[in-house]
Chain A
Amino acid sequence: MSYSLQLESSLTGHTDDHVWCVAWNASGDQLASCSSDRTVRIWTKDANTAGGYSQGGWRCTAILEDAHTRTIRSCAWSPNGRHLATASFDATTAIWEQNSGIWEQVATLEGHENEVKCIAWSPDGSFLSTCGRDKSVWIWESIPGNEFECVDVKQGHTQDVKCVRWHPSGDIVASCSYDNTIKMWVSDGDDWVCSQTLGAAGGVAGHTSTAWSLSFEPEVGDHMVTSSDDCTLRIWSRYAPLGSHPGQATSPSSGTAAKGGGRSGKPTWRLSTTLSGYHNRPIYSCDWSKSGLIAAGDGDNAIKVYHSSKAPSMRTEDSQLHGSFQWQLLTCKEQAHAQDVNCVKWHPSDPTLLASAGDDGCVKLWRCQP
């Protein structure tokens, strides 16, 4: 069956070319977009679509401004949809609260030395993570009363950190960087420690240039996808810790495999698939849908969607299932935007709806279906 990406809505309004990021709220009736114009726009699905809005039933219901003095690079909704966090090149992260459709800035998170590049909420909304040009990853705790307290600052990347994401379980933060690596940070009591560096020199094969974005497989989180300046997507799979699987012997070979950075008692992540040859320019964004599709947006103005014939569950070190992933291009949309595609995000519940943001100043909604 042949699929296609059909443009459903084109949402215009940002006054600067770069729209960097889009984020759906959990219920999927609001979409936030942020831009170099230093604003966030909230797009709300009109309940009466028949009303004939020119933008396909979505309209801009709020503009969040005056909090940041430079580009807003990233935005993220809290899981309950009441808060929106925005990360800016002005070195701050702002927290906004929505009450009866009215938005108010309720907190500012300061600490990064310069550009904050990404912000992500933990799945239960009790923590946030930020990262930036100062090579650090910060973990913040959300305290009642709109207070946010920094609980840890992780140094480790040797260059700016481009993206942070929480594992669906809430006990892993993954970060990817200009230093070409992905680091897995795990909670160890009060501290967060780096359990593994993916793509480090001498370790497992990884990206050969900047890792721009990553996305965990939703819900179970046995896999994640990363996108890179090297024009590839890489899919990484989680393996059970040594000894946790009945009947598994601690063989010399499995010991060697764990040398890539795995801590005993913690799952290790290993490269399972590299998707290369599909993209001509850097891939700035990737997103894994609940229905198992991976969308990727690139610097060649294209959006590509991949599907897998098989989604294996968590495997152990000794199982030789590499290559059993059959990832294939499902559909692609060349010239999805008139310029670079900076962000792609699947709707949280409608498996056929995809949002994208580009350097052409547009936010677009796409239908991915036969």
Chain B
Amino acid sequence: MDNTYGSHLINPNPVVHERKSVQKVTTSLRVSSSDESVREPIDALEIFDHLRDITDPEHPYTLEQLNVVAEELIEVDDQQGRVRVRFTPTVPHCSMATLIGLCIRVKLLRTLPPRFKIDIQVTPGSHASEAAVNKQLGDKERVAAALENPNLLEMVERCLGSA
């Protein structure tokens, strides 16, 4: 592993899960509507597909393999244009939580239509600083500033390289 984050792993022995054999739902596979004006709804599985292969900042595994993201923790209201993704850090004191959340946000900003409002939060009870992490991830100004930081952006790009 390319160790950019210091010599100490926060979670040296994460539990690794199998990649689920859920069929990838791509736009081309979806049943096309005869009426062009009817919008193809976006669902939780499609969001999950965008996120599952993001690489964890600390381990050579994907967010799906580490159970950081899961389809059942994604809520979509296509009509209202709302997406809420909850993610579960592998350990409650994970200092990578905001970076993981940033990766999820960037990925969704790049893939979802702009009509969606995106909320990224840690799964309730899964992080020691839950409120602080959620607040940071919800602050669009801090997110915008973070993405102008070349070092941080490089880390995000590395995680997204696989997704």
Check A18–B139 contact: CB distance below 8 A.
no
Q: Are A133 and B145 in contact (CB under 8 A)?
A: yes
Is the beta-carbon distance between B117 and A281 smaller than 8 angstroms? yes
Interface pair A210/B139, CB less than 8 Å apart: yes
Flag whether B140 is at the interface (Cβ < 8 A): yes
> A71 to chain B: closest CB distance in Å?
6
Whether, in the assembled complex, B114 has its beta carbon less than 8 Å from a beta carbon of chain A, the answer is yes
Contacting A at CB under 8 A, from B140-157, are: 140-142, 144-145, 148
Q: Does A340 contact B (CB under 8 A)?
A: yes
A18 and B141 CA atoms in complex are apart in Å by 10
Query: CA of A162 to CA of B140 in the docked complex: distance in angstroms?
Result: 12
Interface flag for A229 (CB, 8 Å) = yes
Which of these, A89, A160, A229, contacts B138 with CB under 8 Å? A229
Q: Are A300 and B145 in contact (CB under 8 A)?
A: no
Question: Interface of chain A, helix or strand or loop or mixed?
Answer: loop
**Please, how many angstroms separate the alpha-carbon atoms of A140 and B117 in the complex?**
38
One of B114, B140, B142, B144 near A338 (C-beta < 8 A): B114
A115-B145 in contact (CB<8A): yes
Instruction: Judge if A70 is at the interface, Cβ distance under 8 Å.
Output: yes
Contact A71 B145 (CB under 8 A): yes
| Least CB separation from A340: chain B residue | B140
Q: How far is the CA of A133 from the CA of B117 in the complex (A)?
A: 25
B135 close to chain A: CB less than 8 A? yes
Task: Report chain B residues within 8 Å CB of A360.
Answer: 114
Chain A residues with Cβ below 8 Å from B141 are: 73, 117, 162
For the complex, give the distance between the alpha carbons of A210 and B139 in Å.
Answer: 9
With both chains docked as a complex, state the minimum distance between the C-beta of B149 and any C-beta of chain A, in angstroms: 9
Task: Give 1 or 0 for each of A165-195: 1 = CB within 8 Å of chain B CB.
Answer: 0000000000000100000000000000000
